[in-house]
Amino acid sequence: MSAKFELNDDSVVVIVGSGAGGGTLGTELALKGIKTVILEAGARHEIEDFVNDEWDSFAQLAWTDMRTTSGSWRVARDFANLPAWIVKAVGGSTTHWAGASLRFQEHEFRTRSVYGDIKGASLLDWPITLKELEPYYEKAEFRMGVTRTNGIAGLPGNNNYKVFEKGAKAIGYQDVSTGRMAINSAERDGRSACQQAGFCFQGCKFGAKWSTLYAEIPKGEATGNLEVRPNAHVLRIEHDASGKVSGVVYADKDGNQHRQKARIVAVAGNSIESPRLLLNSASSKYTDGLANSSGQVGRNYMRHMTGSVYAVFDRPVRMWRGTTMAGIVRDEADHRPDRGFVGGYELETLSLGLPFMAAFLDPGSWGREFTTALDSYENMAGLWIVGEDMPQESNRITLSSEKDRFGMPVANVHFDDHPNDIAMRNHAYRQGSAMYEAVGATRTFPTTPYPSTHNLGTNRMSENPRDGVVNKWGQSHDIPNLFISDGSQFTTGGAENPTLTIVALAIRQAEYIAGQMSQKAI
Amino acid sequence: MKDNDVSLSRRSLLKGATAAAFMISAGAIINPMEAWGLEVKALKPETMQTLIQMARDIYPHDSVADRFYAIALKEYDTKSASDAALKSQVEDGVAKLDELATAKHGTRYVDVGWESQRVAILREIEKDPFFQKVRGGLVVSLYNQKEVWPLFGYEGESAIHGGYVNRGFDDIDWL
């Protein structure tokens, strides 16, 4: 039975956001007997509400509140007010994610040491190691039901995967499979097996894909220790005279403002909203925003080096059938600087429906070069590139001069590719095209990055408080009862899809918070 | 239709045969080949006819009938009824297209014979807000029509059919 806490109950942990970080942390704390309130800006849409329609689903789930953009990235031109394709709803972007669940590699926790001093990059070693995180990766994989772990079978490959696999093997790749996916290959944990419906991005209609919406939060609510308050958009975090955070002010769906008191506040609003909230919480004591004595809040914004390769064949593929991200090549994931860049990348199958293919294949393009590509839609295969991008201090979330309907400055997202990102993307475009050409592609399309889905790094973890915003537990260096619980705490991005690491960190953070609370340290 | 109208239509057809095979008749545009008509209230019928040709030149798909382009553009007419700024943007934009066409080819835009010639005119205005608005709207309103999807092979929603687990998710046979 879901709990219901009073606004003036100052014993609760308040979590801002219900996605991979916030939803997991809230559930885990509730399971440990800790009273927790999750404030979610979006509405609660359950599985039966999801729609197998790209634009209708986008209208239902996507975060479309005003944001602004700057920088030389193409997204700023094509989608000036949509820098990110992420979700505003209970479950956050775990409703939308594709399910790829890969652990970081050992060297990716210490990139400054391994890659060296890369000009223009603000690389930093994480204050934790793979070894320290491994037990939590194990817990995360078990609770998410990741295929090819814990004796769980891999998913079968769909048409898009079969083309991808054959192409990959034809050019000599060996580490190619249907991947480690948080999608049930058989019924598990009260959730259905994958029915190969496609539309993974639109919310899984079968609940086969792990999401905090239905795989975590209901378990937390069942303890009686967790309340999830949807349509509760947090505007600022408040603190007491001693400087410790004391609660948050949020607007409900009618725009009425409420003050929820808190013993601890954990921010998990994604790497754009989380720093925005800290910056919008500036006070006479913290004039540059909360937890920002380092000046690092909002900096080092990473979005992964991404791109896609679509290819047309002379016969049908029907790539939209089945799991959207149906397979992974990992041969390029390691660090081999002889390729002309540091870090590595994954190749993962991807498909878009016709409406989104039209919008994203080459935004702004028109005429027959463009439309003949869509004419071959049925014969298309596709993959997504996801690689480590270089953190840069100037890639940054700042407060815009534009205000939202509550009068709070919206986030501006500034991004420029680093030369390493460009070199890696060009390499990946060549490799992806070669895979498809090896199995008979008649045309390939190196497709520009979509609005960001992997937003990382804007409240990064650091050993030294001067270099980042939070310590190895996601606890802010400046304010002991203020935590960051989403991907914004990543020191660097790795080449892997971030959700598994966010979940592992949240499980670990819950353990730390519970310990600190019982010791009365916070 | 009364006989009278038919003969009027026939005359119009003979007189005004255009690349897109449309007729203009008393507040409507009619496509006799596809047997449909579209009533136009706020915009001039000729303007809607030109918009349809322009849309086809922006996103040309030879297997997609004119009516889908007309459906994708219909909202310019309905919205123009209450939005004077939009109405003048569209009327002015089309007038400029016709001006450019007349200067180059001595005819209205819709009567310019080759797609490549019309596309050359569009390239001249592709940075204009009018063009950007039409293209940006069309990329959603054309490709988001469920009736258009089968023409591209796209199958739309699948969960109501139980997904593809038993319906060919892995049926590729030519690899």
Whether pLDDT at A385 is above 90: yes
Assign A1 a pLDDT band (cuts: 50, 70, 90): confident
**Over the stretch A67-82, which tens digit does the pLDDT of each residue have?**
999 999 999 999 999 9
Contact A367 B153 (CB under 8 A): no
User: Does residue B72 come out as left (phi exceeding 0), alpha (psi in the -120 to 50 range) or beta?
Assistant: alpha
Give the pLDDT confidence score for residue B5 in this predicted structure.
38
Considering only CB atoms, which chain A residues are within 8 Å of B154? 320, 353-354, 377-378
CA–CA distance, B98 with B106 (Å, rounded to integer): 9
Give this complex's ipTM. Answer: 0.95
**Over the stretch A24-47, which tens digit does the pLDDT of each residue have?**
999 999 999 999 999 999 999 999
Whether pLDDT at B42 is above 50: yes
Q: Which of A107, A74, A103, A88 is nearest to A18 (CA)?
A: A88
Residue B155 lies in a domain: no
Residue A400 tokens read as 């815009």
Residue B58 lies in a domain: yes
CA–CA distance, A103 with A497 (Å, rounded to integer): 9
Q: How many structural domains does chain B have?
A: 1
Whether pLDDT at B17 is above 50: no
For B140, which residue in chain A has the nearest alpha carbon?
Answer: A355
Alpha-helix runs per DSSP H in A246-395: 270-280, 354-360, 368-375
Q: Which of B113, B30, B24, B123 is nearest to A368 (CA)?
A: B123
Sheet strands (E) in A92-213: 176-177
Q: Which helix (H) or strand (E) holds A518?
A: helix A499-518
Tokens 């709990």, residue located: A3
Q: Which helix (H) or strand (E) holds A38?
A: strand A36-39
Contact A359 B58 (CB under 8 A): no
Q: Does A112 touch chain B (CB under 8 A)?
A: no
Whether pLDDT at B12 is above 70: no
- Distance to chain A for B11, nearest Cα, Å: 33
- Compare B25 and A353 and report the one with higher pLDDT: A353
Residue B68 lies in a domain: yes
Beta bridge mates, A461: A470
Q: Yes or no: say if A231 and A43 are a contact pair by the CB < 8 Å rule.
A: yes
Considering only CB atoms, which chain A residues are within 8 Å of B63? 375
The two beta strands, A264-267 and A482-484, are parallel
Q: Does A248 touch chain B (CB under 8 A)?
A: no
CA–CA distance, A295 with A276 (Å, rounded to integer): 13
Whether pLDDT at B6 is above 50: no
Residue B25 lies in a domain: no
Say which of A156, A197, A377 has its CB closest to residue B152. Answer: A377
Beta bridge mates, A245: A239
Three-state SS for A484? strand
Three-state SS for A68? strand
Whether pLDDT at A87 is above 80: yes
Instruction: Give the Cβ contact number of residue A371 at 10 Å.
Output: 18
Q: Which of A390, A163, A428, A388 is nearest to A308 (CA)?
A: A428
Three-state SS for B155? coil
Quick one: average pLDDT of A164-192? 98
Structural domain of residue B127, as residue ranges?
A: 41-145
Beta bridge mates, A346: A386
Three-state SS for A423? helix
**Over the stretch A93-140, which tens digit does the pLDDT of each residue have?**
999 999 999 999 999 999 999 999 999 999 999 999 999 999 999 999
Terminal Cα distance for chain B, rounded: 55
Assign A347 a pLDDT band (cuts: 50, 70, 90): very high
Assign A174 a pLDDT band (cuts: 50, 70, 90): very high
Residue A516 tokens read as 């600190």
Q: Which helix (H) or strand (E) holds A380?
A: strand A380-387
Quick one: average pLDDT of B70-76? 96
Whether pLDDT at B10 is above 70: no
Quick one: average pLDDT of B155-172? 98
CA–CA distance, A383 with A454 (Å, rounded to integer): 16
Residue B34 lies in a domain: no
| Domain A13-518: CATH architecture, name and number where available | 3-Layer(bba) Sandwich (3.50)
Residue B36 tokens read as 């449909």
Whether pLDDT at B47 is above 90: yes
Contact A53 B157 (CB under 8 A): yes
Give the pLDDT confidence score for residue B22 in this predicted structure.
82
Give the pLDDT confidence score for residue B34 in this predicted structure.
84
| Average predicted confidence (pLDDT) for chain A | 98
Q: Which of A416, A415, A421 is nearest to A340 (CA)?
A: A421
Beta bridge mates, A43: A89
Three-state SS for A93? helix
Q: Read out DSSP for A189-255?
A: TTBPPP-----GGG--TTS-B--IIIIIHHHHHHTT-EEEESS-EEEEEEE-TTS-EEEEEEE-TTS
CA–CA distance, A498 with A148 (Å, rounded to integer): 18
Quick one: average pLDDT of A284-298? 98
Say which of B61, B139, B169 has its CB closest to residue A196. Answer: B169
**Over the stretch B119-128, which tens digit does the pLDDT of each residue have?**
999 999 999 9
CA–CA distance, A432 with A6 (Å, rounded to integer): 54
Contact A378 B152 (CB under 8 A): yes
Beta bridge mates, A444: A311
Q: Yes or no: say if A424 and A341 are a contact pair by the CB < 8 Å rule.
A: yes
Considering only CB atoms, which chain B residues are within 8 Å of A205? 159
Contact A366 B58 (CB under 8 A): yes
Q: Is the whole-model pTM more than 0.80?
A: yes
Give the pLDDT confidence score for residue B20 in this predicted structure.
53
Assign B23 a pLDDT band (cuts: 50, 70, 90): confident
Quick one: average pLDDT of B40-54? 95
Q: Yes or no: say if A518 and A512 are a contact pair by the CB < 8 Å rule.
A: no
Say which of B148, B157, B168 has its CB closest to residue A321. Answer: B168
**Over the stretch B49-66, which tens digit does the pLDDT of each residue have?**
999 999 999 999 999 999
Least confident of A161-170, A302-311, B17-26, B111-120: B17-26
Whether pLDDT at A370 is above 70: yes
Whether pLDDT at B4 is above 70: no
Assign B37 a pLDDT band (cuts: 50, 70, 90): confident
How far CA A191 is from CA of A194, A211, A215, A219, B77, in Å, comes to: 9, 11, 8, 13, 48
CA–CA distance, A356 with B87 (Å, rounded to integer): 29
| Average predicted confidence (pLDDT) for chain B | 89
Instruction: Give the Cβ contact number of residue A125 at 10 Å.
Output: 18
Give the pLDDT confidence score for residue B9 in this predicted structure.
43
CA–CA distance, A343 with A337 (Å, rounded to integer): 7
Alpha-helix runs per DSSP H in chain B: 3-16, 45-58, 66-80, 84-105, 115-125, 129-141
CA–CA distance, A397 with A449 (Å, rounded to integer): 19
Considering only CB atoms, which chain A residues are within 8 Å of B167? 321
